[in-house]
C-alpha cells in the first residue's frame, strides 16, 4: 500500500512539474516576444536575416556611418524625425518657437538599416527625399506620410514617389519618418498647398491611428487643425530652417541621444523587473487565454479620441486640397501584425478591426474620399504576404513590397484622377 501511495504521489509531482514547465514555458515565450519587439529592433532584424541565410550585414551604428561619410567630405546627418520636437513644441529661437518638418536641404541623410546596408539619400531644396529640381514646375502628385513614404529602409530611388516619377508622374515625396496625421496636416499646409499639386496622396500607415494622440500635445501642431490660415511659412524660410536644425544636431541632438541611451537602460531594467513579476503570475498567458474569443479583454484604448483626431485631420486635409482644385486620395498601408502574429506586444488580438482598421476605412469612405486599400488590394492577394516585409519580420516593406504598392497606386491614380504622364523636370 505504501509503495502504491508513493508511486501515486511521485506521478502527481511529475504531472504538476510537467504542467508547470508547460505553462511557464509558454509564458517565457510570450515574454521573449515582448522583449524582442521592445528592446532590439536592429538586432532582431539582423537575426531574422541570418535565419534566412544572410551573412553580410553592416554592424555599424548610425553615428559611425555618419562619421565615415563626413570623413569622406560629405555633409552627412541623421535623417530628420519631426516627432523629436513634439514634447518641446518645436525649437526655441530668438523670434519664438519654430517646428520643422523637413530636414536640412542638399545634404546626405542616413536613414536606417533593415536590408544589411544603410539607407542613405541626398535631400532636396527643402530637406525631403527628392531629386534636386523636384519643386520646379507643376506637380502631379504629392505623397504625405511617415517612414513608409519617406523611403525606409531603401536604396535611393526605390521609394514609392521615385517609382511613380519613373512612370512619368511628376511626384513629390513629402514623407518623413517619425510623423503621424497631425504632422501630415502641417506638412500639407506648409509644403503641398503652396505648390497646389493635382493630387495629394495621404499615406496612412495602420499604426498612425495611435500617433495623432501623441502629436496632439503640441500646441503648435494643433494650430494647424484649429486655425485654417495658420502657417509658419517654412517653404520660404529654408536658410533659417537649415541653420536651426544644424545647430540642433550639433548641440541638443547629442544631448537627446545621451538621454535616450540612459532611458533605454532604465527601460531595460523596468522590462526585466516587469517580465519577472508578470512571469510569476503567468500574466501574459492568462491574458491571451481570456482574449481568445475577441478583443474584449485588451482593446486598442482611447478609441474615441483616436477616431476623432483621425476624422479631423482627414477632413481638414481633404478640404484644403479641394480648395485649390486638387484631388485628395487616402492610401491605407498595412502593418506587419496583420499577417505575422495573432496578438501584438500589447496583447491586443489581431482581428479584422485591429488598429481600428474598419473604422478608419469606413470614416474615409463616408467622407467621400477615394480609398486605395493596399492591405486588401496588394498584401491580401499574395500567397504569403510576409514575403513583402524585410526578412519576414516586423519592420518596413522590402523592395518587392514597395514596388507592388507603387504599381497599384499608379494604376489607381490614372484611373481615379486626371493626372497624365509627363516628363518631370528632375528626371533626366
Q: How far apart are CA 159 and CA 72, in angstroms?
A: 26
Span 332-354, average pLDDT: 91
Q: How far apart are CA 147 and CA 151, in angstroms?
A: 6
Instruction: Please state the pTM of the whole predicted model.
Output: 0.85
Quote the percentage of the chain above a pLDDT of 90: 67
Q: How far apart are CA 407 and CA 257, in angstroms?
A: 38
Q: Helix and strand tally (H, E) in the chain?
A: 16, 10
pLDDT per residue as tens digits for the range 216-232: 999 999 999 999 999 99
The predicted pLDDT at position 425 comes to 43
Mean pLDDT value across the chain: 87
pLDDT per residue as tens digits for the range 86-107: 999 999 888 788 999 999 999 9
The predicted pLDDT at position 39 comes to 47
As given in the structure block, the three cell numbers for residue 368 are 467621400
Strands (E), 41-182: 76-78, 91-93, 96-98, 108-110, 120-122, 141-144, 171-173
Residue from 337, 383, 391, 422 nearest 141 by CA: 422
Q: How far apart are CA 178 and CA 83, in angstroms?
A: 5
Q: Which range, of 104-108, 301-305, 368-372, averages the lowest pLDDT?
A: 301-305
Span 38-54, average pLDDT: 79
Q: Contact, 111 vs 150, CB < 8 A? A: yes
Residue from 195, 187, 148, 204 nearest 171 by CA: 195
Span 41-64, average pLDDT: 87
Q: How confident is the model at residue 36 (pLDDT cuts 50, 70, 90)?
A: low
- Indicate the burial class of 3 (C-beta count within 10 angstroms; 0-12, 13-18, 19 or more): exposed
Q: How far apart are CA 16 and CA 321, in angstroms?
A: 65
**Longest Cα–Cα distance in the chain:** 97
The predicted pLDDT at position 362 comes to 98
In the block, cell 501642431 appears at: 221
Amino acid at each position: 500500500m505504501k509503495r502504491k501511495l508513493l508511486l501515486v504521489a511521485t506521478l502527481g509531482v511529475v504531472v504538476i512539474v510537467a504542467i508547470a514547465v508547460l505553462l511557464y514555458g509558454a509564458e517565457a515565450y510570450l515574454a521573449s516576444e515582448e522583449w524582442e519587439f521592445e528592446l532590439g529592433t536592429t538586432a532582431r532584424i539582423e537575426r531574422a536575416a541570418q535565419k534566412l541565410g544572410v551573412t553580410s550585414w553592416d554592424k555599424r551604428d548610425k553615428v559611425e556611418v555618419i562619421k565615415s561619410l563626413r570623413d569622406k567630405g560629405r555633409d552627412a546627418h541623421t535623417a530628420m524625425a519631426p516627432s523629436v520636437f513634439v514634447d518641446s513644441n518645436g525649437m526655441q529661437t530668438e523670434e519664438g518657437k519654430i517646428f520643422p518638418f523637413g530636414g536640412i536641404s542638399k545634404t546626405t541623410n542616413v536613414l536606417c538599416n533593415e536590408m544589411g546596408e544603410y539607407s542613405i539619400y541626398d535631400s532636396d531644396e527643402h530637406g525631403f527625399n527628392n531629386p534636386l529640381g523636384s519643386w520646379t514646375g507643376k506637380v502631379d502628385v504629392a505623397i504625405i506620410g511617415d517612414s513608409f513614404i519617406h523611403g525606409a529602409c531603401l536604396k535611393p530611388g526605390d521609394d514609392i514617389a521615385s517609382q511613380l516619377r519613373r512612370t512619368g508622374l511628376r511626384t513629390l515625396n513629402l514623407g518623413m519618418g517619425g510623423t503621424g496625421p497631425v504632422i501630415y496636416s502641417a506638412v500639407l499646409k506648409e509644403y503641398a498647398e503652396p505648390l497646389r499639386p493635382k493630387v495629394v496622396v495621404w499615406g496612412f500607415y495602420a499604426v498612425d491611428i495611435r500617433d495623432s494622440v501623441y502629436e496632439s500635445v503640441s500646441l503648435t501642431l494643433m494650430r494647424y487643425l484649429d486655425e485654417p490660415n495658420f502657417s509658419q511659412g517654412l517653404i520660404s524660410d529654408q536658410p533659417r530652417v537649415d541653420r536651426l536644425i544644424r545647430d540642433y544636431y550639433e548641440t541638443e541632438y547629442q544631448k537627446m541621444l545621451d538621454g535616450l541611451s540612459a532611458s533605454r537602460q532604465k527601460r531595460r531594467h523596468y522590462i526585466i523587473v516587469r517580465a519577472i513579476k508578470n512571469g510569476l503570475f503567468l500574466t501574459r498567458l492568462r491574458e491571451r487565454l481570456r482574449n481568445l474569443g475577441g478583443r474584449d479583454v485588451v482593446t486598442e484604448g482611447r478609441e474615441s479620441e483616436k477616431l476623432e483626431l483621425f476624422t479631423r485631420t482627414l477632413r481638414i486635409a481633404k478640404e484644403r486640397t479641394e480648395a485649390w482644385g486638387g484631388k485628395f486620395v487616402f492610401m491605407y498601408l498595412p502593418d506587419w501584425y496583420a499577417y505575422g502574429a495573432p496578438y501584438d506586444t500589447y496583447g491586443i488580438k489581431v482581428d479584422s478591426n485591429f488598429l481600428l482598421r474598419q473604422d478608419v476605412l469606413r470614416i474615409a469612405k463616408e467622407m467621400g474620399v477615394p480609398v486605395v486599400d493596399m492591405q486588401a488590394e496588394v498584401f491580401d492577394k499574395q500567397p504569403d504576404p510576409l514575403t513583402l516585409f524585410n526578412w519576414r519580420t516586423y519592420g518596413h516593406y522590402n523592395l518587392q513590397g514597395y514596388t507592388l504598392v507603387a504599381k497599384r497606386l499608379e494604376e489607381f491614380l490614372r484611373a481615379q484622377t486626371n493626372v497624365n504622364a509627363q516628363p518631370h523636370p528632375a528626371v533626366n
